[in-house]
Amino acid sequence: MMLRTFIAVEIPPDIQGLIAEQSAALKNRLPKAVIRWVTPNNVHLTIKFLGDLTPTALEQVAESLKEEAASHEPFSMSVRGLGAFPSPRRPRVIWIGLEAPAALEALVHGVEAALARLGFPAEQRPFSPHLTIGRVAQNVSLTGIQSLQSALESTRVGLLGKVRVEAVHIFKSDLRPGGAVYTHLYALAMK
């Protein structure tokens, strides 16, 4: 049996609720079917997508990351801002931003290094902390894209709160017709 897995930082329910309010406000300004919205309780900070793992490989990952997580101090990051990847002119992913300290970058590098020792390839793109709130539908019309660009340009998302990061989590992801269902597998505590 293979488990589709990823490593993430959880976002507390109160912040998820505020993100849901921002998503709803944006959704109300757009034509239907422009964005596939992320369910609010699925909003998280992905550190690394691992893909399909056997239970044995998953155990090895958890053991390695337990040690790595314990070598880092907890920290806080601010949730604010709105944007799109790869850019607001060519949006594919809509996100809420994170203002994170150097401690997040150190944690991400540590996780990458621990996983590299287990044979996982390093991420080629630079780490860009964000919370995905929606993905642009593949068959969106030019009018839909223009509406989205206009909404992104005119929407400001101020400080929604601070997230205290005290653990790294491993999740299983099951792809279903109604969207992904995430199951929490491990919480790996920091110092």
DSSP result, 23-82: HHHHHTTS-TTSEEEPPGGG-EEEEEEEEEE-HHHHHHHHHHHHHHHHTS--EEEEEEEE
Give the span between the Cα atoms of 23 and 112, in whole angstroms: 31
Amino acid at 110: G
81: left (phi over 0), alpha (psi -120 to 50) or beta: left
Positions annotated as catalytic residues are 44, 130
Of 129, 121, 73, which Cα lies nearest the Cα of 96? 129
Tokens of 56: 């044995």
Give the span between the Cα atoms of 183 and 75, in whole angstroms: 24
> Phi and psi at residue 178, in whole multiples of 5°?
-85, 0
